């Protein structure tokens, strides 16, 4: 029966959707008759991969809803993880992102525990996707570069998989650098367009959308319009609505730059029709109907921790401050930023940068967690919330952190660095009407003022917050 699996996998590699669709029901019927349940699990997983690769999100969700109970009963933990990964990606393409980040953390945890490089690539790539949606582009860049490093680890082992994942990273990094407005870095990935010649068509289309976006920003409208003209027929033939919407948004940008008001109006009307015809509601209802099959596999609680440091992430921090009821007279918010972190990250690599952030977070947790809440806010920025009756005690805690960072040797492999930290802290009398979010914003401002004055600064200021 293994010949069915090998043939289906070959169809995926060659992007032969029709051939896959013809053989799939034959393989399922045969394997069910023979009670070859383990192989049937593999066939179901290949089906999910094919639908996702082809961008057939409705078929993907329908397939997962229909087969997840079987996968849970007869599949391994790896099989269930693969299904969760495909399901989360499908829902993300529909704009339904609830639980996406938590699922990818679970995939990452599994991959690291079992040394599964393929799953680790998926986790890193999709965590980067989450950060892109959250507009945390530097974090997205870091995870995409980790994914690219992981892909190179199986380059010799699985050349087709490597070429596919290499192209995916190139396309995503191009997109990220455009959002970061780092066009020098983006240009490096624009020059790699030749790598997509033999890539699956969906990857080619995704890359070309980013390629067009780049040339619009670089005011090379002629090249952007040339690629639009060749790409549009392919997207029409693919019937992938989300690609259509992305293309129309780019066409509107081009029309706006030309000052063509009539063309903009026409394109907006066409875009509205596309969105009105979206099948999202139907698909989400389908998901809800089949949700019971997932109950035994749901996470016991919403994951609110940063995967790298173990501290709260931004979401977790927001949840904590909404629930926090301090009994002290004052409440203070401190923003902390690792000085010259970019130098370490750029010169010694992201793994070195990760090690520094982990050690830095350990120091913060040691001093702050007994008195309040500490979180990684993004990149090399951290935020802490303290409650206290004596301002001198709060100042003492932050001064201890300031000194401890300077005295801590930060180590990665055979490298060691002495670092400093810039801290901005705003505090005020606590009331039930207090806007903690506003206090966070003020502390962030004080931290950046310290940066502008030469780094390695500690500023503590009482403020009035309505």
Residues 322 and 422 in one domain: yes
Q: What does the pLDDT read at residue 97?
A: 65
| Mean confidence (pLDDT) of the chain | 83
Cα distance between residue 54 and residue 17, in whole Å: 7
Residue 299 lies in a domain: no
DSSP designation for 381: E
Cα distance between residue 181 and residue 214, in whole Å: 10
Burial class (CB in 10 A: 0-12, 13-18, 19+), 452: exposed
Residues 208 and 320 in one domain: no
The last residue of a domain, from among 283, 304, 332: 283
Q: How far apart are the first and last CA of the chain?
A: 70
Is the pLDDT at 300 greater than 50, yes or no? no
CB–CB of 41/71 below 8 Å? yes
Residue 154 lies in a domain: yes
Is the pLDDT at 302 greater than 60, yes or no? no
- Alpha helices by DSSP H, listed for 383-435, are 391-407
CB–CB of 108/123 below 8 Å? yes
Residues 171 and 68 in one domain: yes
- Alpha helices by DSSP H, listed for 294-435, are 314-323, 341-348, 350-368, 391-407
Residue 293 lies in a domain: no
Q: How many distinct structural domains can be found in the chain?
A: 2
Is the pLDDT at 301 greater than 50, yes or no? no
Q: What does the pLDDT read at residue 224?
A: 92
Q: Which residue has the higher pLDDT, 288 or 304?
A: 304
Residues 258 and 360 in one domain: no
User: Which residues make Cβ contacts (< 8 Å) with residue 462, sequence separation at least 6?
Assistant: 391, 426, 427, 428
Residue 290 lies in a domain: no
Neighbours of 30 (CB within 10 A): 15
Residues 250 and 390 in one domain: no
- Residues 342-384 have pLDDT tens digits of 889 888 888 888 889 989 998 998 888 888 899 998 888 999 9
Is the pLDDT at 252 greater than 50, yes or no? yes
Confidence label for 229 from pLDDT (cuts 50, 70 and 90):
very high
CATH number of the domain where residue 440 is located: 3.30.70.270
Residues 255 and 392 in one domain: no
CB–CB of 325/436 below 8 Å? no
Residues 108 and 223 in one domain: yes
Confidence label for 297 from pLDDT (cuts 50, 70 and 90):
very low
Highest mean pLDDT among 115-119, 149-153, 245-249: 149-153
Q: What does the pLDDT read at residue 45?
A: 86
Q: What does the pLDDT read at residue 292?
A: 39
CA-based radius of gyration for the chain = 25
CATH number of the domain where residue 271 is located: 1.25.40.10
Of 246, 245, 265, give the one whose Cα is nearest residue 255. Answer: 265
Residues 242 and 115 in one domain: yes
Structural domain of residue 338, as residue ranges? 314-462
The last residue of a domain, from among 268, 283, 298: 283
Residue 309 lies in a domain: no
The last residue of a domain, from among 239, 265, 283: 283
- Residues 374-422 have pLDDT tens digits of 999 888 899 999 988 888 888 899 999 999 998 888 888 888 888 999 9
- Residues 310-333 have pLDDT tens digits of 888 888 888 888 877 777 888 899
Q: Which residue has the higher pLDDT, 182 or 38?
A: 182
Q: What does the pLDDT read at residue 272?
A: 63
Residues 199 and 54 in one domain: yes
Residues 245 and 376 in one domain: no
- Residues 37-91 have pLDDT tens digits of 888 888 888 888 888 777 777 777 778 777 877 887 788 888 888 878 787 777 6
Is the pLDDT at 285 greater than 70, yes or no? no
Residue 420 lies in a domain: yes
Q: Mean pLDDT over residues 458-463, rounded?
A: 88
Q: What angle do CA 268, 269, 272 make, to 5 degrees?
A: 85
Q: What does the pLDDT read at residue 295?
A: 39
Cα distance between residue 206 and residue 72, in whole Å: 33
Residue 297 lies in a domain: no
Residues 359 and 425 in one domain: yes
Residue 220 lies in a domain: yes
Q: Mean pLDDT over residues 156-176, rounded?
A: 91
Maximum Cα–Cα distance for the chain, whole Å?
76
CB–CB of 65/289 below 8 Å? yes
Sheet of strand 330-338: strand arrangement: 372-378, 381-388, 330-338, 421-429, 458-462
**What are the CA-CA distances from residue 181 to residues 129, 188, 250, 257 (Å)?**
17, 13, 17, 18
Residues 247 and 322 in one domain: no
Confidence label for 1 from pLDDT (cuts 50, 70 and 90):
low
Cα distance between residue 465 and residue 435, in whole Å: 7
Query: Model pTM greater than 0.85?
Result: no
Cα distance between residue 102 and residue 307, in whole Å: 10
């Amino acid at each position: 029966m293994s010949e069915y699996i090998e043939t289906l996998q070959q169809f995926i590699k060659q992007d032969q959707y029709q051939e896959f669709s013809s053989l799939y029901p034959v393989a399922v019927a045969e394997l069910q008759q023979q009670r070859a349940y383990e192989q049937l699990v593999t066939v179901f997983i290949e089906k999910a991969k094919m639908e996702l690769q082809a961008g057939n999100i409705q078929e993907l969700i329908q397939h997962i809803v229909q087969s997840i109970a079987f996968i849970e009963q007869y599949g391994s933990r790896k099989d269930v993880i693969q299904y969760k990964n495909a399901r989360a990606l499908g829902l993300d393409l529909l704009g339904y992102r609830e639980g996406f980040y938590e699922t990818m953390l679970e995939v990452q945890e599994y991959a690291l525990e079992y040394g599964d490089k393929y799953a680790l690539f998926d986790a890193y790539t999709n965590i980067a996707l989450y950060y892109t949606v959250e507009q945390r582009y530097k974090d997205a860049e870091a995870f995409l570069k980790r994914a690219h490093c992981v892909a190179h680890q199986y380059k010799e082992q699985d050349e087709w998989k490597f070429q596919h994942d290499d192209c995916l990273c190139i396309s995503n990094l191009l997109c990220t650098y455009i959002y970061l407005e780092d066009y020098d870095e983006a240009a490096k990935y624009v020059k790699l367009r030749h790598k997509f010649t033999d890539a699956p068509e969906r990857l080619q289309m995704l890359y070309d959308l980013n390629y067009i976006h780049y040339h619009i920003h670089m005011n090379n409208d002629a090249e952007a319009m040339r690629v639009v003209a060749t790409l549009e027929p392919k997207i029409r033939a693919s019937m992938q609505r989300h690609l259509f919407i992305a293309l129309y948004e780019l066409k509107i940008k081009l029309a706006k730059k030309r000052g063509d008001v009539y063309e903009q109006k026409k394109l907006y009307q066409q875009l509205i029709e596309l969105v009105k015809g979206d099948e999202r509601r139907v698909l989400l209802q389908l998901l809800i109907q089949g949700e019971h099959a997932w109950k035994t596999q749901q996470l016991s609680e919403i994951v609110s921790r940063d995967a790298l440091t173990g501290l709260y992430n931004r979401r977790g921090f927001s949840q904590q401050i909404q629930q926090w009821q301090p009994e002290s007279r004052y409440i203070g918010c401190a923003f902390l930023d690792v000085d010259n972190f970019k130098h370490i990250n750029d010169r010694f690599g992201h793994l070195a940068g990760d090690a520094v952030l982990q050690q830095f977070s350990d120091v913060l947790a040691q001093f702050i967690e007994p008195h309040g809440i500490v979180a990684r806010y993004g990149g090399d920025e951290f935020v802490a919330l303290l409650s206290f009756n004596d301002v001198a005690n709060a100042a003492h805690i932050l001064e201890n952190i300031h000194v401890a960072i300077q005295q801590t040797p930060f180590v990665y492999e055979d490298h060691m660095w002495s670092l400093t930290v810039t801290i901005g802290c705003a505090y005020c009398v606590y009331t039930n009407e207090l806007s903690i979010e506003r206090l966070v914003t003020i502390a962030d401002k004080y931290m950046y003022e310290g940066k502008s004055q030469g780094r390695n600064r500690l500023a503590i200021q009482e403020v009035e917050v309505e």
